[in-house]
Chain A
């Protein structure tokens, strides 16, 4: 009988069923989509890194002698390491054109390293009829090379070559790839530039190297992207959490409406003798079944949405790092089950909570509509919110990222619980404004909205959180960007950067210093270290005043000498170091003189004086040189590097632009996700307003009977809804700032160890307010349009 009543209820109110399924499918769908995007961000990056840089972590070079293919063979046999790939890097030229880099690689070894992005599926070693060298070339280079066979100048020798294909990536510049064996044959010379290796930090320390070979960590070009991707993922995780809360609110509220509309009916059944447990069991089953069906629909919506949103992310990574970065992502079984569980549990909570609340009142009270639309239960909400706030603060002060997320969730939930009470106070305050008190439509709209708040409260709480989320994310991303620019500008010295994977010698340094127009050169050496199995980067720099001034010191002072070193913020935070603390490096004890800001590595950086480093590690090479030079000096440097294929030069502007471009692209995705969350909340408001419209079907006719014009009725509804939207938008502002503070001050700091100051910007606030009004107005119009199709004939007597 209960099932029959339910079926007839939903048949009579298809709009309610539609709202219920919309909330379920969109709630689950949005949550699933955001989690999928998060996972695909990781997958895309992993693939991108493997496609282009492979999983190579280290390089073997022979600074003092020639590195030969025999060294590679002996190393492989001696170490038993499969993930090793020999590489010859040369400067090439065709005729009078400008030069380009030629990489000669061993496709089989590349595959063992998991790096197939450059060689692709083309057989480079296939001999051609004319015995010329087959080349795979970048798109930029392909445009300038002649068709067919041509003469290639390599290390001053002329070799016959031809283009065998192009590499599918637009960001490679002028690059050619050839088979290593074919190059050896063409040059009759088996020299190598380096051997790329994939090593765990512990393996690197245990490796026995032949005389003349040195091991260095790869100066990863993707370092910034890697860290940004992690930052993006962490913040997406926070966004998933907030989307989950919004989804739970929406689903629970849609089931609450379905209950409340039938509350009087249920009370009548109870009055007729239906057992309380029977009603509870039935509602639980009904919610579970509907939750399951809606959840399944949500899985479909979420999978589609997730794939749609993941596509631009994959394309961005692919554009930056080659087509191998593209992923075809499907949610795994655990994620699908989590989505279903979310739907079912939220549905059950939504159905049972109002029933349990109603059971505290008498049956006669339950039969009255007004008892369901009472004032907001301020005391209960305050109590629950206080408990959650205390829990949130405890979680935030506990160790670990997981606890930080738990704290964020608890505080967000506490705020959501307080939203209806805050709106209630806001509406009352507005009603007392003389200008509104004397305006009939506004006053009536506020009065009706105030009374409807117990129905709309959950939807508006979800809207507030959903609007606060973009504010929080925007402020966090904007602050991060500002801090990154500030750090790049302050910490990057010089106008040009000369980089070498094999390392540069004192002779190279002296030659560059001697170039006309070069005013200053700062050499740097990096080494991957491993303390207590926790890796970190060791950076050796000269202790000149200008170099020391580039450190943004957060605590202590910038002092580097034989006994003092500097540590990055992340390093200090993870190891609990402060200025004055001792730190042991390779057996030597140093004192931490200061802590500096650094966004390069979450593992942290330790900076020591260059001469001390060279003495400690017997490593005379430099990985990079920061060069300050005038225009003529820059040209001289370019010319110098052009003659040295193992060197690369980057301008300061390029480095800055690349870093920021990567930042913008990586975080651009959050824009879509923010809109998705706001749309989700808008849908929640639509469902709530639709329920209210269906329930208030007689209101229009009553108002019309009293002499209200249609436009006045529309104005009354619009002003009521817009006021609630506006108040939600206004409330979202401080909540957004709080979320941004938690994201910057707790989540990001806990995840990466680095901090940045929160910078307020007006744009996210304006956007949130616009979204609030837009979502509410859209929701109202949609609800009115849908409700129009189902006019009530119940009031003022049916037409006779």
Chain B
């Protein structure tokens, strides 16, 4: 279970998050909506442990992230969290296959080539596994991004505008894949988005406004 209590965060003396509370149950899928600059990405960075709140408590699976050292937060993120980004954030220097297995190697997990080939085939990337990311289409890159986020079976999946750079068709394919795999893995999913169609996939939705969350989809 992900629990955020009384989260405050300021940037350039401007409050971005002001006493935000959020509780997400295990395996639940939620959406966070909000205007640009409302603090959605900052909230995700706090959840992932990349940033600390100025005030408040973030706990996940009964572990208080705010009490961990940076090294411990990194180790926690490495094992427990998978992330999908709007601009894919794949490694141009690594092939499709190398990008995919990176989290497995990072976590010292076994690489089951058959299973991975199956995953790639499922999203139509099997024939492209030796190619480099920017020779792929946007949709293909994001599907690879989704696979990479889930390949090590994280408990929490964070997606920041996963369809922001995709056309309608690619966006649908990506969302289908993201939620399907998250449910198969039993991962908790937090999606930050502008896209209303995401609400069709989520259990609950919140709008981030004036530093606090308002429930849209109870």
Contacts and interface: CB of A to CB of B under 8 A. Distances in A.
Interface of A: 368-370, 373, 440, 443-444, 447-448, 450-452, 698-699, 702, 704-710, 795-797, 799-800
A800 B16 contact: yes
Contacts of A800: 11, 16, 36-42
A706 B105 contact: no
A370 B89 contact: no
Contacts of B41: 796-797, 799-800
B92 A451 contact: yes
B179 interface: no
A706 B87 CA distance: 15
Contacts of B105: 440, 443-444
B89 A704 contact: no
B144 to A, nearest CB: 14
A707 B79 CA distance: 8
Contact of B102 (A373, A452, A706, A796): A706
A705 B154 CA distance: 13
A799 B85 contact: no
B64 to A, nearest CB: 18
A698 B39 CA distance: 21
Contacts of B70: 710
Contact of B89 (A373, A448, A796): A796
Contact of A705 (B50, B75, B93): B50
Contacts of B160: 796-797
B122 interface: no
B215 interface: no
A457 to B, nearest CB: 15
A702 B94 CA distance: 13
Contacts of B74: 704, 707-710
Contacts of A452: 93
Interface residues of B, number: 42
B21 to A, nearest CB: 19
B83 interface: yes
A447 B42 contact: no
Interface string B82-116: 01011101011110001000110111000000000
A796 B85 CA distance: 7
Interface of B: 11, 16, 36-42, 45, 48, 50-51, 70-71, 74-75, 77-79, 81, 83, 85-87, 89, 91-94, 98, 102-103, 105-107, 132-135, 160-161
Contacts of B91: 448, 699, 702
Given A370-B92, A444-B94, A796-B89, A706 B103 contact: yes
A448 B39 CA distance: 33
A451 B42 CA distance: 32
> Which residue of B38, B70, B93, B103 has the most chain A CB atoms within 10 A of its CB atom?
B93
A368 to B, nearest CB: 5
A706 B38 contact: no
B78 A706 contact: yes
Given A370-B134, A707-B75, A702 B89 contact: yes
A369 B107 CA distance: 29
A444 B135 CA distance: 20
A713 to B, nearest CB: 10
Contacts of B39: 800
Q: What 5 A-B pairs are tightest by C-beta distance, nearest first?
A: A707-B78, A451-B93, A797-B41, A440-B105, A448-B93
A704 B86 CA distance: 17
A709 B77 contact: no
Contacts of B51: 799
